[in-house]
Structure 1
Amino acid sequence: MSVFIRRLVTPFVAAALIGVATIGQAAPARAGGVDALAVGECPFTNTLCLFDGTRYTGQRITLSGGGICVSLVNQGWGERARSVINTNSRSAAMFANDDCLGGPFQVSGNTGIADLDAFRPKSVWAP
């Protein structure tokens, strides 16, 4: 299985293709609806966008691919994400460890979380 990753580095977008393992469905946590401003910050379909600033600001990494675990540590994003948007209709999950195991922090489908508070993901399961 593969995942497409796009990073916003200054105004340019770089793309990489990564093979990763699959895992099962995550347990629920919390998420809020995506406001109109946030939609413009993640204009991709079926994608998980993570931002290093709250309220969907700062640099962005985008993940899509279909039911895969992505190490944010390997992408230089371990503990960087401060907000997230999920444009997929299926839930995504973020984890405090680097292998998508343990208690997940769920991001419901078609929602966003403008401030992750103290939670700093090291891996994500992208639908």
Structure 2
Amino acid sequence: MNWLDFRRLTRAGSWSLGALLTVAGLATGSLLLSPAEASADDTNPCPFSDVLCLFDGEDYTGAVWNVRAWPPGTSTCVGLPEHGWEGRAESAINRGTQNAYLFPNEDCSGYPVTLLPGEWLSPLEFAPKSVFVF
């Protein structure tokens, strides 16, 4: 899915069944909060596979929170305030296989910062209020 398709999807309100189930999982609090499996690279500040790691310090320091879409193969918008991360993220690592998007607004709206697969970014241009992950 490219950026234009994503914007059409969110503006048109035509969510797929997988996206609706993902949002339903967010509402129940059962989504995205379990830790991902650690990888063999324990020297990486984000030693998890297929996640977006957010850090509350620059240069990948401080508390870390990881997020990924569940179930695998789906995509989702995650509002950070409901997880205690509003205004906290100062650096990020995308350990996923697809782009991750950081948004200035809670509903994955506004102009995002894109993190390519494997990309590290510090400091962030703004403290994101939501992220879109695959």
Check whether TM > 0.5: yes
**How many Å separate the matches in 1 of 2:131 and 2:115?**
10
8 Å contact kept, 1:79–1:122 = yes
8 Å contact kept, 1:92–1:108 = yes
Counterparts of 1:1-127 in structure 2 under 5 Å? 1=22, 2=25, 3-6=31-34, 40-65=44-69, 66-117=74-125, 119-127=126-134
- Bigger share in strand: 1
Q: CA deviation at 1:67?
A: 1.2
8 Å contact kept, 1:38–1:56 = no
**How many Å separate the matches in 2 of 1:38 and 1:120?**
26
**How many Å separate the matches in 1 of 2:122 and 2:68?**
20
The range that moved more, 37-46 or 77-86, is: 37-46
Which has the larger Rg?
Answer: 2
Question: What letter matches 1:44 in structure 2?
Answer: F
Secondary structure of 1:5's aligned partner: coil
Q: CA deviation at 1:100?
A: 0.3
Secondary structure of 1:74's aligned partner: helix
Identity %: 36
> Which of structures 1 and 2 has the larger relative contact order (alpha carbons within 8 angstroms, sep 6+)?
1
Q: CA deviation at 1:5?
A: 2.4
- Bigger share in helix: 2
Secondary structure of 2:44's aligned partner: helix
Q: CA deviation at 1:38?
A: 9.5
**How many Å separate the matches in 2 of 1:109 and 1:125?**
13
TM-score where L is the length of structure 1: 0.69
The runs of at least 4 consecutive aligned structure 1 residues that moved more than 4 Å come to none
Taking a change above 3 Å as real, the CA distance of residues 123 and 38 of structure 1, as seen in their structure-2 partners, is farther
